Amino acid sequence: MSDDNDLPSANVRQLRPPDSDALCPTLSTHKPRILILYGSLRTVSYSRLLAHEARRLLEFFGAEVKIFDPAALPLPDAAPVSHPKVQELRELSIWSEGQVWVSPERHGAMTGIMKAQIDWIPLSTGSIRPTQGKTLAVMQVSGGSQSFNAVNQMRILGRWMRMITIPNQSSVAKAFQEFDANGRMKPSSYYDRVVDIMEELMKFTLLTRDCSAYLTDRYSERKQAAAELEERVNLAKI
């Protein structure tokens, strides 16, 4: 009689119990690298203003921050991946260790500009995965009452892109009232929440960036890679 805990031998070779030592790697000393995306091209864009508030906070907390300007980015599939703006976005995504996505809510959803940026970032390019294992914070601005449609959608996308989306999030209602004439966010509970989120993003980034490859190592992928290697070896023997 077989043991209920018996597993097929082919599978056992790729099973790896969690290794606590792998979760305590040598820590990097460079500044955490954060990419910010925003979802509006308006002259007065509250998502862009909020993105810059996030940048100031992240830089204060010790991050190196880059903001991608979506102007002139073509629609997905309307240009080749060699397009300069597409290449710029993809290179920034690879460079980053964490990201912030800031979108207005339009017709109950994130904007097409925001979605287009995410759609241009592939799940994988050869052996490179531009977003897997990176941290993510999501925020939205609304013209009316507070809503969470855009941040909820971005959370779904973050999971699909295999990112570590932090628990906290921000939805700034009536955003036109929350910024002064210089484009700076006024003191408020909304601003306090933004501070909380950037602080949390930094903590999660510092905690996970050096072990993200281990955190995203998957049994199913190890099994597939082993099968492909075995197939190549067998073909070489023929």
Q: Which tens digit of pLDDT belongs to each residue from 138-149?
A: 999 999 989 999
Identify which has the larger pLDDT, 10 or 118.
118
38 lies in some domain: yes
Cβ neighbours for 137, distance < 8 A, ≥ 6 positions apart = 54, 98, 99, 100, 101, 165, 166, 168, 169, 197, 198, 200, 201
Q: What is the mean pLDDT of residues 219-227?
A: 83
Rounded Cα–Cα distance for residues 166 and 10 (Å): 36
Q: Which of 8-12, 32-36, 169-173, 225-229 has the lowest mean pLDDT?
A: 8-12
* Burial grade of 53 (CB within 10 A; 0-12, 13-18, 19 or more): buried
* pLDDT higher than 90, residue 224: no
What pLDDT is stored for residue 21 in this prediction?
85
What pLDDT is stored for residue 55 in this prediction?
98
pLDDT band at 1 (very low <50, low <70, confident <90, very high): very low
| Tokens of residue 159, six digits | 């999971």
Rounded Cα–Cα distance for residues 236 and 238 (Å): 5
Q: Is the pTM of this model over 0.85?
A: yes
* pLDDT higher than 60, residue 3: no
Q: Which amino acid is at 187?
A: P
87 lies in some domain: yes
pLDDT digits (tens, 9 = 90+) for 81-117: 999 999 999 999 999 999 999 999 999 999 999 999 9
The torsion angle over the Cα atoms of residues 205, 211, 213 and 214, rounded to 10 degrees, is -140
Residue 52 belongs to domain with CATH number: 3.40.50.360
Cβ neighbours for 7, distance < 8 A, ≥ 6 positions apart = 15
Give the domain range for residue 97: 28-237
172 lies in some domain: yes
Contact 102, 139 (CB under 8 A): yes
pLDDT digits (tens, 9 = 90+) for 10-67: 567 778 788 888 888 889 999 999 999 999 999 999 999 999 999 999 999 999 999 9
Q: What SS3 class is residue 101?
A: strand
| Tokens of residue 140, six digits | 């939205």
4 lies in some domain: no
Contact 171, 225 (CB under 8 A): no
Rounded Cα–Cα distance for residues 89 and 27 (Å): 27
2 lies in some domain: no
Across the chain, what does the average pLDDT equal?
Answer: 92
Which one-letter DSSP state was computed for residue 84? H
What pLDDT is stored for residue 227 in this prediction?
82
What pLDDT is stored for residue 16 in this prediction?
79
What pLDDT is stored for residue 2 in this prediction?
54
**Structurally, how many domains does the chain consist of?**
1
- Sign (positive/negative) of CA torsion 102, 104, 105, 106? negative
59 lies in some domain: yes
198 lies in some domain: yes
Cβ neighbours for 61, distance < 8 A, ≥ 6 positions apart = 198, 199, 202
| Tokens of residue 54, six digits | 């996030």
152 lies in some domain: yes
What pLDDT is stored for residue 7 in this prediction?
62
